[in-house]
Chains A and B, each alone.
Chain A
């Protein structure tokens, strides 16, 4: 590391000519980064939604499911990649499995919180009108849980975009490839480029989610209740303040 320090002092932070010569790499790493993120969050969402529906139907299942996801969440990412090596080798599967496991806790908690937040009188009215159970969940409960679900997706996506860079260790990585190479070649331009692009992607995705939420939740545009203990913008604020701990 002292070597790296010396090099970093001698080298400029960024060499624009190098960046210009590697636009093809930037493009391919960008797509890889997006692909890994979308797949990981997408698969994680499907699994978390299934778990949430089970948890809402059979309340007793929620504790064990959440504990399971929390345990996965607590495994250090570098260790998880290594642990998966004997089973899936250096592969996209390895990266994806690890990334998906880190989305589950956040998504599960937000989906369940959203479903729990459906006003009881609305649920009772829906039952009284003659909705079948599954139809009510689909047409009433899930739409009303959307703000909380989107909040969960935002956190999961931003987290995943950061974690994707670490998957460079197992031969994937998106923008993480720049960082990995930069570290091994002691070339600051790549480290800076990989980091900045990764952060920029995270911010862009976050903004996209805000816009998507406005489209998905037109009824709540006028009033955005921010209450302690309820999911919403606060969830992200809390999460980021405490690093990798999730708002309960």
Chain B
């Protein structure tokens, strides 16, 4: 057992947290909750620990801030063996967010956020400046700072919980199923906010969840744990969805792995078809020729600036000489380069034309996505 605060081998790159043969056997248990776990968490990444109940993911998380004491192995945080530091000091340097937010009901929102800075003995001005800064960062109305947590919605409480965890600007953030107690709409908002926040603060985040979709959405890297704290696979979400290492991982990812991969890719990354498209100045004969060439019974219409006007069907053309005489119908599903391929797929299967039409932010036509184009995205 090493007790010296020697720096961990840095040759392995920029590792913020290293779990070395980490083991926890609870008193009276016959099997370990976590068994010899080896995991390196790179600095600035969000790593999701995912697995079924009893896989030891929360136990693992709590061993990083010593809420649970390991029975074997070592946790290195920023190159320091955590056992060499007094527990309360270690914890003040690690942000911690839990499921029910766990706000102090007897303290105002502002005082809740100020918890760790006050424990660290910051002076009053610095504390209140920091609280204001965090309220802005988390987009919490400063008017809420004087309220008690019971006056807040679940989503607001969870934002305050994150603000409180970030208050002393710790390099590492531990999040234990932070969004599992809020409704799906708020959960999606909080997830989007976490992604935005992470782009600004670049923390090393260990995120425990049982929701694989949440992990795919948020994580740079997913660690899938099996019952007994067995690490089955660590990989980026895309790599894991493309190549699950074994049946357990594949089962856990679900039978819609392809669709899930679509949620990781955007329209901008896909190759678009040109599709049947004509300028509004085109003649009806030209439009018919375009339809026939590509095998469609409709054609998209753009104006002189390439701006998408809509579409006209083959039957609409009868009796007209040029497209300009007709009123194009709007496309039901128009996507932009930022749209996920999963959302684009939804557009494809629900629209009458069976395509999702892509335009840029100024409404200029970029191309179309068909089911074939989307399948291409998954298989390559």
Contacts and interface: CB of A to CB of B under 8 A. Distances in A.
Contacts of B90: 130
Contact of B115 (A119, A129, A220): A129
Interface stretch (A18-26, A83-91, A120-128): A120-128
A125 B91 contact: no
A121 B87 CA distance: 19
B119 interface: yes
Contacts of B67: 124, 127-128
Given A125-B98, A219-B150, A222-B150, A130 B116 contact: yes
A132 interface: yes
Contacts of A126: 104
Nearest to B99: A121
Contact of B150 (A122, A124, A223): A223
Interface string A87-127: 00000000000000000000000000000000101101111
A144 interface: yes
A127 B91 contact: yes
Interface residues of B, number: 29
Contacts of B103: 122, 125
Contacts of B365: none
A130 B91 contact: yes
A129 B164 CA distance: 9
B349 interface: no
B119 A128 contact: no
A216 to B, nearest CB: 10
Contacts of A16: none
A236 B106 CA distance: 24
Interface in B65-99: 65, 67, 87-92, 96, 98-99
Given A129-B91, A129-B115, A219 B105 contact: yes
A182 interface: no
Interface centre among A127, A217, A222 (most CB of B within 10 A): A127
A131 interface: yes
A122 B96 contact: no
Interface in A221-245: 222-223
Given A128-B67, A130-B92, A122 B104 contact: yes
Interface in A109-168: 119, 121-122, 124-132, 140, 143-144, 146
B88 A144 contact: no
Interface residues of A, number: 22
Interface string B112-153: 000110010000000000000000000000000000111100
A146 B105 CA distance: 12
A218 B151 CA distance: 12
Contacts of B180: none
B96 A129 contact: yes
Contacts of A121: 98-102
A130 B98 contact: no
A17 B116 CA distance: 66
B102 A124 contact: yes
Contacts of B164: 129
B119 A222 contact: no
Contacts of A218: 148
A222 B102 contact: no
A220 B107 CA distance: 11
Nearest to A144: B106
A122 B88 contact: no
Nearest to A133: B88
A130 B88 contact: yes
Contacts of A132: 88
A154 to B, nearest CB: 20
A119 B157 CA distance: 15
B151 A222 contact: yes
Interface centre among A125, A129, A146 (most CB of B within 10 A): A129
Contacts of B148: 218-219
A32 B148 CA distance: 42
Given A130-B88, A130-B91, A219-B150, A122 B116 contact: no
Contacts of A127: 67, 91
Contacts of A130: 87-92, 116, 119
A127 B150 CA distance: 21
B100 A128 contact: no
Query: What are the nearest 10 A-B pairs in CB distance?
Result: A125-B102, A128-B96, A130-B92, A130-B91, A121-B102, A219-B148, A130-B88, A121-B100, A143-B106, A219-B106
Given A128-B174, A217-B106, 5 more contacts: A124-B102, A128-B96, A129-B92, A129-B115, A222-B150
24 contacts: A119-B102, A121-B98, A121-B101, A125-B103, A126-B104, A127-B67, A128-B102, A128-B174, A129-B96, A129-B115, A129-B119, A130-B88, A130-B89, A130-B91, A130-B116, A130-B119, A131-B88, A140-B106, A144-B105, A219-B105, A219-B106, A219-B148, A219-B150, A222-B150
